[in-house]
Amino acid sequence: MRVYGMPDFGPRYVSPQEIMEANNAYAAENRKIFNDLGVFALNMMGSPGSGKTKLLETMLPLLQQRIRVAVIEGDLATAKDARRIAGCGVSVVQINTGGEGHLDAQMINRVLSGFYLEDIDMLIIENVGSLISPASFDLGADRRMVVMSIAEGEDKPSKYPTAFLYSHMAVLNKIDLLNVLDIDLDIMQKDIAEINPEINVFATCCRHGEVLGVDALADHLVSLVKDKIRNRE
Ligand SMILES: Nc1nc2c(ncn2[C@@H]2O[C@H](COP(=O)(O)OP(=O)(O)O)[C@@H](O)[C@H]2O)c(=O)[nH]1
Ligand SMILES: [Mg+2]
């Protein structure tokens, strides 16, 4: 919900609950559209620079061999990420939020008509780069995934637990940097398991020529998408 200008009868207070209720109504509508059309939606979150777009660029060719994928890109400004994804031959819509640090369900709802959803098995939504507010806004996706670069520091999952608490998958990216950083991957994994014992953790490297772990993540995602397709039949 947005309040443009001030109504005649004076300022109106829009409570956080009202904002969340309005968001949840759109999220429910999105979920219904995804379920009616058999589209598996993934809400992908993580800090700026954690490697979300790079992970997509690396993983999309593996996914496209087995399922039909489209992407929504969220950023404050520019269509740079959408251009990168379009380079993989995938349908993509870029949403620029201006100042907002997250995508909300209404923004997703507004761009869904830009896709031929009947011809898509999976819609991946790369959220605005942040470990904080994206985790609070349900988009109506089937699953949530948080991507963190190990270079962000091993203490970050415990300092920013919300995204890990609400995600089904966590990706620890840039493991090629283990050689040059004083990072203990075990501490990160232990902290994540403490925040959310159910979460599936994947360690990846997306660096050209050194790709690691992306095939295991792609396999996991394809099996989730195929489960949804099977349950619908
Ligand atoms: N060394 C290394 N660099 C990576 C890896 N994954 C991504 N990067 C780099 O990290 C930077 C940020 O990646 P980007 O995909 O734009 O991050 P996003 O903001 O989360 O979408 C880019 O320069 C990527 O090439 C990785 O696994 N290893
Ligand atoms: Mg990006």
- The answer to whether the CB of 205 is under 6 A from ligand 1 is yes
Please tell me the distance between residue 201's alpha carbon and the centre of ligand 2 in angstroms: 20
Q: Which of 45, 53, 54, 152 to mutate to test the pocket of ligand 1 (most atoms within 8 A of CB)?
A: 54
pLDDT of amino acid 232:
80
pTM attached to this predicted model: 0.94
Tokens encoding 99 = 């100042």
Q: Which atom of ligand 1 is nearest to the CA of 204?
A: 27
Tell me: the pLDDT tens digits for 36-83? 999 999 999 999 999 999 999 999 999 999 999 999 999 999 999 999
Gap from CA of 205 to ligand 1 centroid (Å): 9
Ligand at shortest distance from the CA of 213: 1
Task: Report the pLDDT value the prediction gives residue 1, as an integer from 0 to 100.
Answer: 44
What's the confidence (pLDDT) of residue 4? Answer: 53
- pLDDT band (50, 70, 90) for residue 15: confident
Across the range 113-135, mean pLDDT stands at: 96
Give the pLDDT score at 82: 96
Ion ligand 2 residue ranges (Cβ < 5 Å): 52-53, 81
Which residue, 101, 103, 151, is CA-closest to 130?
A: 101
Ligand 1 in reach of 177 Cβ (< 6 A): yes
Taking the CA atoms of 121, 106, 198 and 164 in sequence, report the sign of the dihedral they define.
positive
User: Ligand 1 within 6 A of 48 CB?
Assistant: yes
Considering the chain, what is the average pLDDT of its residues?
94
**pLDDT value at 158 more than 60:** yes
What average pLDDT does the segment 168-172 reach? 98
How distant, in Å, are the alpha carbons of 84, 105, 134 from that of 19? 32, 11, 14
Quote the ligand 2 centre to 67 CA distance (angstroms): 22
Kindly state the tokens that stand for 38: 């058999």
CA of 54 to the centre of ligand 1 (A): 5
- Which of the pair, 113 or 232, is modelled with greater confidence? 113
Q: How far is CA 156 from the centre of its chain?
A: 18
